[in-house]
Amino acid sequence: MNVDGKPYRSIWLNADGISIDVIDQTRLPHEFEILNLQTLDDSCAAIRDMVVRGAPLIGATAAYGFYLAMRQNASDSAMVSAYEALYATRPTAVNLRWALDRMQAALKPVATHKRAASALDEASAIAELDIEINQGIGRHGLELIQDIATGKQPGAAVNILTHCNAGWLATVDWGTATAPIYMAHEAGIPLHVWVDETRPRNQGASLTAWELGHHGVPHSLIVDNVGGHLMQHGMVDLCLVGSDRTTRSGDVCNKIGTYLKALAAFDNKVPFYVCLPSTTIDWSISDGLQNIPIEQRDSAEVSEIKGRLPDGEIGSVAITPQDTAVVNYAFDVTPARLVTGLITESGVVKASEESLSRAFPGHLSTL
Ligand code: MRU
């Protein structure tokens, strides 16, 4: 998507034809900086430190990280170590495992001296597939938005609430929850997006607001507690969120706070849709509450807040009494019963095992 009129992806092959470039998301919205990844360690650090984040982009970065590892050492044992190192970076987004499994399966039969080249091809194919999938999600979600727009007064904006950043920065391009938004905007449908700030890391305030602003999509930033009030007052037509891992029965794990939005949407009969690529479905599990590992992150993300300081530097300030005990769960699970539908590349499906397995045949039989 566009940054100052110039199209960008969130990850790409550097002009040297060897190393990988990513947008450093820890510097946004204050600075647009590109970080160059040259090694396996660089790639692990980029995922762990959230230079890149968002389930699909974590998967794509892991794939490119695997390629960079193969450039360093393409032996069988190096493949195992690269898999383990990348897999350990973040626990919740299942796209990481999906991408690593795909890389490993593609490279195992390849002779060692050809593995680096094959790994680059495979990682690039994963990145291209992500873009194609997100465009599919966009087209299906666009139909939903069109239907809602048709039911409103001519010219009235469709109000969409989104949480965290499930935008193009969280994927290779287009985003999941934002793909329908960008397509509807381009189709001329009047839109307005309520952007949850998404404490503690404020991905909504720093990333989603930045993305939508650069693309000219009308939006307002709200603190995380406002959504319920807006829904009670008929100010939200539709919730669109992403997912880090969705079970085969349709339980949705996403950024902490998503569950509370789903509860408020349910109580106020606001449609609550989850936009996700099939690569985010974990076919091996059914019960999201019991089986999805929920990442717990550094307490400083809660006890401090990051931003541009008066001296122009990007830094953090403390917002709690010193030594306050902090717990920082990064994700929660929204049970399938609260989800109106899943917007996937294969269409809009019910959040149920039956509907998911019909939309994506073949997965359950391989378990
Ligand atoms: O901790 P993050 O920023 O990686 O969490 C991202 C999210 O929760 C997104 O909503 C999710 O990955 C879907 S991205 C298309």
CA dist 242 and 245 (Å) reads 9
Please report the pLDDT score of residue 367 as a whole number. Answer: 61
Mean pLDDT of 231-252: 98
Q: Please name every residue paired with 281 in a beta bridge, in sequence order, or none if there are none.
A: 246
102 lines ligand 1 (CB under 6 A): no
247 lines ligand 1 (CB under 6 A): no
CATH number listed for the domain at residues 2-128: 1.20.120.420
Please, which residues have CB within 8 angstroms of residue 300's CB and are 6 or more apart in sequence? Answer: 316
CATH number listed for the domain at residues 137-366: 3.40.50.10470
CA dist 79 and 74 (Å) reads 7
Among 294, 296, 288, CA closest to 339: 288
112-154 pLDDT, tens digit per residue, is 999 999 999 999 999 999 999 999 999 999 999 999 999 999 9
309-335 pLDDT, tens digit per residue, is 999 999 999 999 999 999 999 999 999
**Residues that are catalytic:** 244
Neighbours of 130 (CB within 10 A): 27
CB crowding 321-334: b at 16 or more within 10 Å, else e: eeeeeeebebbbbb
**Domain regions of the chain by residue span:** 2-128, 137-366
253 lines ligand 1 (CB under 6 A): no
Residue 300: pLDDT band with limits 50, 70, 90? very high
CA dist 365 and 47 (Å) reads 32
Q: Please name every residue paired with 333 in a beta bridge, in sequence order, or none if there are none.
A: 253
Q: Where are the alpha helices (DSSP H) in the chain?
A: 40-48, 55-72, 76-87, 95-107, 115-150, 178-186, 203, 209-214, 227-232, 258-267, 288-291, 300-303, 353-359
Residue 364: pLDDT band with limits 50, 70, 90? confident
Neighbours of 244 (CB within 10 A): 33
CA dist 10 and 21 (Å) reads 8
Which atom of ligand 1 lies nearest, measured to the CA of 177? 15
Shortest-distance Cα residue to atom 8 of ligand 1: 255
DSSP 164: S
CA 244 to ligand 1 center in whole angstroms: 6
Which run of H or of E encompasses 139? helix 115-150
CA dist 97 and 251 (Å) reads 18
DSSP 294: P
Residue 2: pLDDT band with limits 50, 70, 90? confident
Is there a contact between 70 and 81 (Cβ–Cβ < 8 Å)? no
